[in-house]
């Protein structure tokens, strides 16, 4: 796994204060398939195979991300992920762009643009998704056997592969439950340790797993799996596992520093059924757009979607852009931008966004929205 050196403090980004509406706005205008063919990174999809491919954005360019690092993401970078699988002998695709917490607007703008370009290159076959660090969809998390690892730094800060005996220690925190256990790198400070989570102090040839008193079994299991992977990559490494209940705090505390910054928390918005909202995007004759709320909560049951428009369904946990078969080019091109702008001013600005295009072979002219 790539490691950092010469790190500088990353810039803190707040997506509510940045221009989130840039995502998707005019990104597909002027993107031609001939231009997409000039991108060497897309050659990997010419002969599709089941599985995932990950690319990282480095200085406006799409670069290959090594398979051994899949599931590890630097918070200062943005990435593109393509998942390919077969259904009834036909290849299907999900295409995600992932935004790191400290990724710059240029980086995530390039990731969004290049995602649209790859979708064009693949004849619009993939389903497109936006993912934000700490708020990933269950679909995105399902691609990785181990919990996602958030690493500090990125392409601009510089990092390098080093042998384990020369390793720079890192403290990793595992937090979550069931399918959404996340692993993130935190500073080597005593103040980071708490009773609710599991921590892994990775010192290269010495690995220490600390189980907090209130840590759940999912966190402990994922930590054990992660440590097992580290040991398989480093046969000479030694592993020590301690529990807070058995006075394990003292063992890990003596390896950490005093006076660290306060613990950062990622607070997810708790979706409620009554908060669900459906909005409709319609292009008017003068080429301007009408963007209106159709309904909220229980009132959405049985709402009929017109295939001539684009709809945005906000469930509170996920935002879907539904593109009707006969939607205008303007509606198709601006649906994602309107969804991003709408979320930026909502209680849940970071939730995943997915674009769903109505199937060409759908026999009816309208589609009914149920409680799904």
Within 8 A by CB and 6+ apart from 235, the residues are: none
- Is pLDDT above 50 for 364? no
Mean pLDDT of 70-87: 93
CA distances from 100 to 132, 173, 302, 330, 355 (A): 7, 17, 37, 29, 21
Mean pLDDT of 255-282: 74
pLDDT (0 to 100) of residue 14 = 45
Mean pLDDT of 42-71: 94
CATH number given to 269-372: 3.40.20.10
Q: What is the mean pLDDT of the chain?
A: 82
Q: What is the pLDDT of residues 158-169, one digit of tens each?
A: 444 455 555 678
pLDDT (0 to 100) of residue 103 = 87
Q: Which CATH superfamily is domain 162-253 in?
A: Severin (3.40.20.10)
pLDDT (0 to 100) of residue 165 = 56
Mean pLDDT of 197-217: 92
pLDDT (0 to 100) of residue 177 = 75
> For residues 333 and 130, which has the higher predicted lDDT (pLDDT)?
130
Q: Are 75 and 10 in contact (CB under 8 A)?
A: yes
Structural domain spans, the chain = 1-150, 162-253, 269-372
pLDDT (0 to 100) of residue 17 = 41
| Fold for the domain defined by 1-150 | Severin (3.40.20)
- Is pLDDT above 70 for 9? no
pTM over 0.75: no
- Determine the Cα–Cα distance for residues 256 and 269; give it in Å rounded to an integer: 32
pLDDT (0 to 100) of residue 67 = 92
What percent of the chain is modeled with pLDDT above 70? 80
Most confident of the following: 181-185, 240-244, 346-350: 240-244
Residue 29 CA neighbour count, 13 Å, CB half: 11
Three-state SS at 250: helix
Three-state SS at 21: helix
Both tokens assigned to 31: 């993107």
pLDDT (0 to 100) of residue 26 = 47
- Determine the Cα–Cα distance for residues 369 and 372; give it in Å rounded to an integer: 8
Q: How close are the terminal C-alpha atoms of the chain, in Å? A: 39
What backbone phi and psi angles, to 5 degrees, belong to 34? -65, -40
pLDDT (0 to 100) of residue 12 = 43
């Amino acid at each position: 796994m790539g490691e950092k050196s010469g790190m500088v403090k990353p810039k803190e980004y707040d997506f509510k204060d940045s221009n989130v509406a840039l995502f998707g706005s005019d990104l597909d205008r002027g993107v031609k398939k001939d231009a997409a063919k000039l991108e060497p990174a897309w050659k990997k999809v010419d002969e599709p195979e089941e599985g995932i491919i990950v690319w990282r954005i480095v200085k406006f360019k799409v670069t290959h991300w090594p398979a051994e690092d899949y599931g590890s993401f630097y918070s200062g970078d943005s990435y593109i992920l393509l998942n390919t699988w077969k259904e009834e002998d036909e290849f299907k695709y999900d295409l995600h762009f992932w935004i790191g917490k400290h990724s710059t607007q240029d980086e995530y703008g390039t990731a969004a643009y290049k995602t649209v370009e790859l979708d064009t290159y693949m004849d619009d076959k993939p389903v497109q998704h936006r993912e934000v660090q700490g708020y990933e969809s269950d679909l995105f998390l399902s691609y990785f056997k181990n919990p996602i690892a958030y690493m500090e730094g990125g392409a601009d800060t510089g990092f390098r592969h080093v042998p384990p005996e020369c390793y720079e220690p890192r403290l990793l925190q595992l937090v979550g439950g069931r399918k959404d256990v996340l692993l993130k790198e935190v500073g080597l400070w005593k103040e980071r340790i708490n009773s609710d989570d599991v921590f892994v102090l990775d010192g290269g040839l010495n690995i220490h797993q600390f189980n907090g008193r209130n840590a759940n079994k999912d966190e402990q299991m994922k930590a054990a799996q992660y440590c097992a992977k580290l040991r398989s990559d480093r046969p000479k490494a030694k592993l020590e596992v301690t529990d807070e209940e058995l006075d394990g705090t003292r063992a890990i505390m003596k390896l950490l520093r005093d006076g660290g910054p306060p613990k950062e928390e990622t607070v997810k918005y708790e979706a409620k059924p009554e908060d669900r909202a459906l909005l409709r995007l319609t292009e008017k004759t003068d080429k301007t757009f009408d963007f209106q709320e159709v309904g909220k909560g229980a009132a959405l049951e049985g709402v009929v979607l017109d295939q001539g428009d684009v709809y945005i369904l906000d469930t509170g946990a996920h935002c879907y852009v539904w593109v009707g078969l006969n939607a205008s080019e303007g509606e198709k091109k601006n649906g994602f931008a309107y969804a991003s702008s709408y979320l930026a001013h909502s209680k849940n600005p970071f939730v995943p966004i997915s674009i769903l295009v109505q199937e060409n072979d759908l026999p009816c002219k309208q589609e009914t929205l149920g409680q799904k």
